[in-house]
Structures are given as C-alpha cells and as structure tokens.
Amino acid sequence: MLFQTREENKLTSLSISQINQNRFQPREDFDREELLKLAASIEVNGLIQPIVVRRISPEGYELVAGERRLRACVMAGLTKIPAVVINCTQRQSAVFALVENLQRLDLNMFEQARAIRRILLDCRMTQEQLARQLGKNQSTIANKLRLLRLEEEEQELILKFGLSERHARLFLKVSDDKRIDCIKRAAKYNMNVAQTEQMINNMKEEREEEEKASHRPKIVFKDVRIFMNTINKAIETMKQSGVNAALMKKENDEYIEYTVKIHKNGAAPSTKRTA
C-alpha cells in the first residue's frame, strides 16, 4: 500500500523513532570504528547527505537508503534526521537498497548474493526482472547466486584470505571434501585465478586416475597351485642358467612351506670326474 503525502521528494526532518529498518538491507556487517568516525563527524558538522525513506503508515516510515548514516546518527545521539520521502513499493525499496550498496561497493560477494536471493524470493521476481532493474545481465545474477553453494566456513575463508569472486566460482568445481584444502592452498601460495584453475584441473585429473584405478579388474587366484607352479618354474629356470638352487617343500594341514637354497658362489658345483 502506498501513502501519498505532500512531503514526497522533498527534504524533511523526521523523528528517528518513526523510521523502521529495511528488512531487505543487503549489508550485514557494519564496521564499528567507521561508524564511530562518521558519528563524530555528524556531531560536529551534522548529516550532509539525507537518508531516503518511504511512508508505510500514517505515522511510520521505512528506510530505503542510508542505513549507515542512520546508525551513525543514533550513535551521535540525534533524535531527528534529514530525510527525503519517496513514493515506492516494497519491491522497489528492496532494489533501491541493493543498488545503493552495489554502487558504493560496500557489499562483499556473499552479501550481494544473499541480498539478491532474498529479493528474488520475497518480492517474487525473476532473475531477468532483477537484472533489468540493476542494469546487469541475467548471467551475472545467476553467477552471484551460485556462490551460495559454498558452505559458510568456505565463504569465511575466502573473505579472510582476500580471494576474488572469480576464485570463489572456481572452488565450486572442487569436491566438497577437498574444497577447504584447495582454498587454503590457493591463499598460502598467493595463486592468481589462472594458477588456481590449473591447480584445480590437476586435482581433477588425479581424482579421475584414482577412480579409473579403483575400477580396474583385479586378478584373484583362488587355487594356490598356480603359485606353486610359478615357484617350481623359477627354480628350474635358475638351474638351467647354471645357478646352484634347491627347493625343499614341507606340507601339513595348515600350510605349505617352501625353503629355497642358493649356493653363495651362484654356479652349481662341477660333476666332472678326473682320471
């Protein structure tokens, strides 16, 4: 429901207590030190850039843009804040909040992805519709959403090590059990995107070789006579080559025991008689 008022698109002063937060605010983390610096500046100079709100009831407003400024004003002890009231729907408000943060580059890649997912679900928009609103290609929206397939721990590591969005998309190619090791290795050796891709390709080839090896048929001999014949043939071959070798065999109910004796000098002793 839209509330038409005379204050729309005009600068006005609103009580902070009248303003509700935007539930579609895409930014999740606010640096407290930065907020304190902004609050100190506001105490001295006032708020130069007003926030943007929309009216949601006769006495209430919802923040559209300016979450950081609003928080800093609260920290500075202000009870009123300069604001511009615009006439927009909940869907438009959600998109405006996302656009503002994208343009300011305030969001990390995963905050962007979660904000996009929330807007798509809650506002019942398609990727194509949101892409048009943001001035981006539909494939860009799809690629952002794919990042959410990474586990929370993996996302935290990627941000901690300062790896890029292109790095993050590459890690999606790695099996779940290898992904964290892959992220840590890329960070440890300061790999660029090309080097990371080569590492992942090498890992993939190694895994494929292991899988092939595991599926190769294994020869299982159930008849021990095959091995016994092999031993006998080996001894015969040694004898024919002039090696002094002897094979002794013991057998009981539990096992067969072979003992091989080979003369230290190698050659068999001569059997030639002297006259």
Catalytic annotation, residues = 67
Alpha-carbon separation of residue 79 from 15, 58, 73 (angstroms): 6, 19, 8
Residue 249 amino acid letter: K
- Return all residues near 193 (Cβ < 8 A) that are at least 6 apart: 164, 166, 167, 170
Alpha helix stretches (DSSP H) within the chain: 32-45, 67-75, 90-104, 109-122, 127-134, 138-146, 152-160, 165-171, 176-188, 193-215, 225-240
What are the structure tokens assigned to 150, written together?
Answer: 């990474």
Question: What Rg do the C-alpha atoms of the chain give, in angstroms?
Answer: 38
Among 36, 55, 46, 45, which residue's Cα sits nearest to residue 81? Answer: 46
Decide: 27 and 108 in contact? Cβ < 8 Å.
Answer: no
Distance between CA atoms of 110 and 102, rounded to whole angstroms? 12
